[in-house]
Amino acid sequence: MDYFHLSAGQDTMERLSALGLAHLGDGVYELMVRSHLCLHGKATNAGLHKAAVKYVAAPAQAKLVHAILPLLTEEEQDVYRRGRNSRTAAVPHNASVGEYHAATALESLFGWLYLQGKTDRLNELFSAMMEEADHAL
């Protein structure tokens, strides 16, 4: 199996939980953030982890997701809502419940897109978020 060029079918996608998608999407989003930071010289080696945390923490994700909400298709909105409404066991101390649910929703969407091999769409949404980050973070 080629884990870099996936194309999961509809039957597979329907079996996955929103939290499962969020777990995968968290890794996809963090890899994209790390790539962005390295490629744009946003931080030195010593500061890369600290810079990445600034983008991947739930409050930052919740703030940046607003840049893409108007761009989402109806199907993407459904995935986002499913992730937002999923029940989580605990909320990190550095985020509000609302921020954590928005971050989980974003991660669910990114996991969903990744599993289907929709990397062009991932890049489009991520780029819109990074444009917002230049102004918001």
Mean pLDDT over residues 46-56, rounded?
Answer: 86
Catalytic residue, chosen from 26, 78, 120, 134, is 26
Please state the pTM of the whole predicted model: 0.93
Determine the Cα–Cα distance for residues 3 and 88; give it in Å rounded to an integer.
Answer: 27
Q: Are 3 and 27 in contact (CB under 8 A)?
A: no
Which domains does the chain carry? Answer: 18-136 (1.10.1520.10)
Q: How far is CA 125 from CA 12, 21, 44, 66, 109, in A?
A: 23, 17, 26, 11, 10
User: Rounded CA gap, 131 and 60, in Å?
Assistant: 13
Segment 53-106, tens digit of pLDDT: 889 999 999 999 999 999 999 999 999 999 999 987 777 788 888 999 999 999
Asked about 78 being catalytic, the answer comes back as no
With contact defined as beta carbons under 8 Å apart, do 78 and 42 qualify?
Answer: no
